[in-house]
Structure 1
Amino acid sequence: MASGADLRRLALAMAGTEEAPHMDRAAFRVARIYATLAADGLSANLKFSPEDQALKCMTHPEAFSPVPGGWGRMGHTTVLLAVTEEELAAALETAWRGALPRRRPPGRARRR
C-alpha cells in the first residue's frame, strides 16, 4: 500500500517537478499541476486525459474515481493511496507526461 510520503517521493523524482501549497493540499507541478496530495495523506487527485481517466477507473474502480462535477469531466481523478507503489508510480507518470510543456512544431511563430 502506498502512502502520502511515497507519492511525494515519486512525484519529486520526476524531472522538473516542484511542490507548492494549493489550498489545503500539496501540489506537484511541472508546467501545470498534475497531482495534489490530500492533507490527510490518504488520497490524491491526478490530472489525466479523459481517455486515461476512463482506463484507470475501469481497470481499478476500487482505487480510482473521477472527481465529482466538471473537474472530473476534464480528467481530474481521485486515487486512494491503497494502491501499490508500482500502480501509484505508473499513474503519476501518466499525469506528469500530460503536464509537460507542449512544444510548438518547428517554424511556427509564437502568437502575441
Structure 2
Amino acid sequence: MATGEMLRRLALSLEGTVEAPHFDRTAFRVKRNYVTLAADGLTANFRFTPDEQQFRCMLAPAAFSPVANAWGRQGWTTGILSELAETDLRAALEAAWRQALPKAGSSRKR
C-alpha cells in the first residue's frame, strides 16, 4: 500500500523534481507540475496524457479515475494511494514525470 510519504520520496528521486506548495496541495514538478499530493496524503493527482489516463483507469479502476472537470479531460487523474503498490506508484510517477520534462531542443524560457 502506497502512502503520501512514499510518493514524496519517489517523486523527489526523479531527476530535476522540486517540491512546492500548490493551493491546498503539495506539487512535484520539473518544468511543470506532474503530480500533486492532497494535504491528507491519501490521494494524488497525476498529469498523464489522455491515452495514459484511459489505460491506467482501465487497468486499475479502484486506484485511478479522471479528475471530474476540464482538468480531467486534459489527462489529470486522481490516484487513491492505498490502492497502489509501491511499484504501481513508481510507474505512475515516472509516466507523469516524463510528460513534464522539457521537450528536447526546447530552450525557450517561460
Q: TM-score range by the shorter chain?
A: over 0.9
Q: Does the alignment pair 1:44 with 2:44?
A: yes
- Aligned residue for 1:20, secondary structure, equals strand
Identify the residue that residue 13 of structure 1 maps to in structure 2.
13
Distance 1:69 1:2 in 2: 25
Structural mapping, 1:1-112, within 5 Å: 1-82=1-82, 83-104=84-105
State the Cα deviation string for residues 28-62 of structure 1 (Å, max 9, x = none): 00001000000000000000000000000000000
Which protein shows a greater Rg?
1
Q: Give the ranges of 4+ consecutive aligned residues of structure 1 lying more than 3 Å apart after TM superposition.
A: none
Q: Normalising by structure 2, what TM-score?
A: 0.94
Query: For the aligned residues, what is the CA RMSD?
Result: 1.4
- Aligned residue for 1:88, secondary structure, equals helix
Please report how far the alpha carbon of residue 104 of structure 1 lies from its aligned counterpart in structure 2 after TM superposition. 3.0
Please report how far the alpha carbon of residue 69 of structure 1 lies from its aligned counterpart in structure 2 after TM superposition. 1.2
Q: Normalising by structure 1, what TM-score?
A: 0.92
Structure 2 segments unaligned to the other structure (5+ residues): none
Distance 1:104 1:87 in 2: 31
Report the count of equivalent residues: 107
Structure 1 segments unaligned to the other structure (5+ residues): none
Distance 1:25 1:70 in 2: 18
